[in-house]
Amino acid sequence: MSSEDKIRKFILENYLFTDDQSELNNDDSFLDQGILDSTGILEIIFFIEDEFGIKIKDDEMVPENLDSVNRIVAFIERKQQE
Amino acid sequence: MIQALRHRGPDGYGFLLEGPVGLAHARLSIIDLEGGGQPIHNEDGSIQVVFNGEIFNFLELREELEARGHRFYTRSDTEVIVHLYEDYGDDFVHHLVGQFAIALWDAPRQRLLLVRDRAGIRPLFYTLAGGRLYFASEVKSLFTQPAVPRELDSLALGEVFTFWAPLEPHSLFRDIQSLPPGHRISVEKGKLKVDRYWDWAFPPEGIDNHRSVEDWAEELRELMIDAVRLRLRSDVPVGAYLSGGLDSSVITSLIHNFTNTPLRTFSIGFEDEEFDESRFQKTLVEYLDTDHTHVTCSREDIGRIFPRVIWHAESTILRTAPAPLMLLSQHVRGSGYKVVLTGEGADEVFGGYDIFKEAKIRRFCHRFPDSVLRPLILNRLYPYLKYSPASGGAFGKQFFSQGMDYINQPFFAHIPRWSTTQRSWKFFSKELKEAVSGRVGFESILPLLPRDIDSWQPLNRDQYVENHTLLSGYLLNSQGDRMAMANSIEGRFPFLDHRVMEFAAGIPPRYKIKVLNEKYLLKQSMAGLIPESIRRRNKQPYRAPDSQSFFRDGKALDWVMELLGETELRRTGYFNPAAVQKLLKKCAAGRVIGFSDNMAFVGILSTMLLDKMFVQGYSSEAFT
C-alpha cells in the first residue's frame, strides 16, 4: 500500500467513518472542510510517526505540512530523505 | 404513575382525587417527619398542593402568614404554599426561596397550577394525550399511561447533539414537554396557559465604576452565608459534597465557619490520575477537620452502572460524568444521609467555565486578527488537559478562530463547543440527518433569548446562553437532580439561590473574570475562609473517563457490542451502522482521545439505551 493509500484509509476510517473513497479528495483541507478537530491533528501525528518511522518536531506541526493528504505525502517524502 | 417515582420519595405516598383532577405524591421526608405528608391544604381544604422540593425560607413566610391570621396544621414547609396562594394568587411564587415543582389545585375555581423553580433544579414534565393533561417529575411516570406514546424525538436528538441538551421546552421524547425553569402552567376551563414568571436578566451594557471589588465581595459573602444557612434547614442531618475545587470548598467552609451544623462530607475520586482530585479534597478535609467519606470510581464502575444512569437521566448524554455522581449518592444514602449541599451552579453564576475565558480570548484576538502575539495567550487555557484543543499549534489556533463571522451573535462563545458536538452528526442515519438538517442549527437558540440580549455585555450573554442550555438541560437534570434522586438523595444548591443569581447578574464582568482569572470576585469574597492552595488553584472541570469505560482488553463490553451491533442500529434507525462500527473499532484500539469522538460514542450509546428502555420497555437490569 502506498503512503497515499495508507493516509487516505486512515482519514476515511477514523475521521469520516466511511469506506466511500469519494468522500475525500487528496487536496481537501482538513481544517477548512472540518475533517479534523483540534485533537485530531495529534492523532494524525501519532499515526505518521508510528507508520512511517519519522519524528515530527513542534515547528513542523503546521498546516503547510499536514493539512491535506497530498501535503502529508509530500512532507513524509521530505522527512524520509533527511 | 406514582409508583414509578418511588426512588424520589420512598418514605410514603399521598393522593387526592377530586373532580377532574388527581394528584399523587411520593415523599422523601426531610422537614416535619411526622406531619408533613402531602397533599397539604389550606384552612377549609379548598386549596390542595403536592410538591417536590423545598421552600427554604418557610419559617419567615410562616411568621408573616400567621401574623395575617392564617392557621397552620403542620410544621412542614409545604403548608406555606397554600396560604401564600390564598393571599397572592399565582404571584405567590415570587415569595419563595427554594427549589420546587409544585402542583396546586384550586377547587373553588376548578383550576390547576403547575410551577417550576427559577433555575430548573426540580424537574417537571407534561403531555397532553387522549384529551388529558398528564404531568410528573420524571418521564417514566408518564409512560405508565398507555395513552402516552413512546417515541424518541428526532429534533430533540439533533438538539442534544448540538447544545448538549434539548432546547426548552423539549424533552428527548415526542410530545412530552419539560416545563422550562421559571415558568408556570395554569389549566382552567379546559384551557392551558404557560407563562414565565422569572428569568435571569442582566443589565444593559455599561461599566459600573461606583463600587469597589471589596464592597462587592463583602455583599457576596453575606449573601452566600445566608444562602447556605437557609439550605441547612432540615429535620434530618445534612451533608455536603466536596470535590476539591473552589465551589464545594466555598460551601463547606461557610458551613464550617458560620453555622453550628456538624460537617459531614462526601467526595468522589478516580483511579485514572487524569481525572482525580483526591489530593485537593484531602487538603480541605484536613483544613476543615470534617467527618469524611471518599469513594473511588473506576472505569469498570462507570461501564457497569451506565444503563441505570440513563434510566434515571431519561436523556441522551454526551459525557459519562453523571455516572460517578450516582455512585456517590449511593454512598451518601448508605451513610444514612438524604440531603447534601453541592457547589453546582457557581461556574454559570460567577463565570467559572473555560468556555467564557475561551470566548474572551477569541474576542481579544478578533480585535487585531493579524496579530501574531495575541493568539499566544491560548497556551494559558486548558493546562489540565492531556490533549488540549490549544495544542497542535496552528491547528489549535484554527479551533479558536471558528465562528468569527458570528462575533456579534449572543451565542458566539458557544460555537466551538457546538461545532465540535455537531461532528457527531456524521454518525446519524440518512433518515435522522434529513429530519434535522435545516431544522436544528445554532440559530435555533435565538427564539429562546431575551429581546435586549444584544445590549448586554459579552460575558453576560455567554452566561445566559450557558444557563439555558447546559445548566438546566444537562447539569441540573442529568447530572444533578436525577443522579441524586436515583438514590433518594436531595441535592441543595446555594449558588442557585435566585438572590445570589440576581446579585451576580449585576457584578461587572471584569470582576467575574479578571483578565483570565475565573470567578475572581467569588475568590475575593472567600479570602481567609478557604485554604490559599485551593483559592489560587487553576480550575479543573469535573470530568470522568468516557469511551474507555466501555472497553476491556481492546474489546467492547458484551451489552455494548449487542446494542451497537448492526441489527440493533438498523432496527432503531437513528445511526449509520457502518460508521458506528468504525468508531467502535477506533475506540477498541484505544485511539479515541479527542472530545468529539468520545462525545459521539457516549451519545450514541446513551441514545440506544434510551430507546431500549423507554421505547421498547426493557429494564436497566437487562444490560450486564
Convert the pLDDT of each residue in B53-79 to its tens digit.
999 999 999 999 999 999 999 999 999
A20 touches chain B (CB under 8 A): no
Query: What integer pLDDT is reported at residue A45 of this predicted model?
Result: 85
Residue B400, pLDDT score? 64
pLDDT at residue A59 is higher than 70:
yes
**Residues 36-75, chain A, touching B (beta carbon < 8 A):** 36-43, 46, 58, 61-63, 66
CA distances for B412 relative to B165, B369, B439, angstroms: 18, 16, 20
The CATH label, of 3.30.420.480, 3.30.565.10, 1.10.486.10, 3.40.50.620, for the domain at B213-349+478-535 is 3.40.50.620
Cross-chain residue pair B582–A34, CB shorter than 8 Å: no
Confidence (pLDDT) at B285? 92
Shortest Cα–Cα distance, B411 to chain A (Å): 20
Cα gap A12→B29, rounded to integer Å: 56
What's the pLDDT score for residue B541?
77
Which amino acid appears at position B310 of this protein?
I
Which residues sit opposite B1 in a β-bridge?
A: none
User: What is the model's pLDDT at position B261?
Assistant: 87
Which residues does B302 contact at the CB level (< 8 Å), separation at least 6?
B320, B323, B324, B544, B545, B549
Average pLDDT over residues B331-354: 95
Q: For residue B424, give every residue at least 6 positions away whose Cβ sits within 8 Å of its Cβ, in sequence order, or none.
A: B161, B318, B596, B599, B600, B603, B604
Q: Do A43 and B579 touch (CB under 8 A)?
A: no
The domain spans of chain B are 2-196, 213-349+478-535, 352-426+436-467, 547-622
Q: Residue B544: what pLDDT?
A: 84
Contact A37 B392 (CB under 8 A): no
Selected from 3.20.20.80, 3.40.190.10, 3.40.50.620, 3.60.20.10, the CATH number assigned to the domain covering B2-196 reads 3.60.20.10
Q: What is the pLDDT of residue B398?
A: 66
Complete DSSP assignment for B580-596:
HHHHHHHHHTT---SHH
Instruction: Note the pLDDT tens digit of each residue in B124-161.
Output: 999 999 999 999 999 999 999 999 999 999 999 999 99
Q: Among B317, B295, B292, B294, which residue's Cα sits nearest to residue B307? A: B317
pLDDT value of residue B206: 65
Chain A hits for B423, CB-CB cut-off 8 Å, are: 34, 37
Q: Which residues of A touch B393 (CB under 8 A)?
A: 58, 61-62
Domains, chain A: 3-81 (1.10.1200.10)
Give the count of alpha carbons within 13 A of B67, CB side only: 6
Q: What was the pLDDT predicted at B24?
A: 96
pLDDT digit string, tens, across residues B282-341: 989 999 999 999 999 999 999 999 999 999 999 999 999 999 999 999 999 999 999 999
- For B201-214, how does the pLDDT look when each residue is reduced to its tens digit (9 = 90+)? 998 876 666 789 99
Residue B339 backbone phi and psi in degrees, to 5:
-135, 130
- Statement: residue B385 has pLDDT above 80: no
Taking an 8 Å cut-off on Cβ atoms, the answer to whether A38 and B395 are in contact is yes
Give me the residue label for grid cell 404531568.
B135
Residues 553-582 of B with CB under 8 A from A: 576, 578-580, 582
What H or E segment, with its residue span, contains residue A74?
helix A69-81
Q: Give the model's confidence band at B539: pLDDT under 50 very low, under 70 low, under 90 confident, else very high.
A: confident
Residue B457's pLDDT is: 93
Q: What is the pTM of this model?
A: 0.92
Full strand arrangement of the beta sheet holding B98-106:
B40-41, B47-55, B98-106, B111-116, B183-188, B191-196
Give yes or no for residue B397 having a pLDDT over 70.
no
Mean pLDDT is lowest, of B45-54, B353-362, B384-393, for B384-393
User: pLDDT, tens digit, for every residue of B211-263?
Assistant: 899 999 999 999 999 999 999 999 999 999 998 889 999 999 999 999 988 89
Instruction: Work out the pLDDT band at B500, boundaries 50, 70, 90.
Output: very high
| pLDDT for residue B405 | 84
Question: What is the pLDDT, as a whole number, of residue B102?
Answer: 98
The tens digit of pLDDT for each residue in A11-46 reads 998 899 999 999 999 999 988 888 887 677 778 888
| A17/B578 Cβ within 8 A | yes
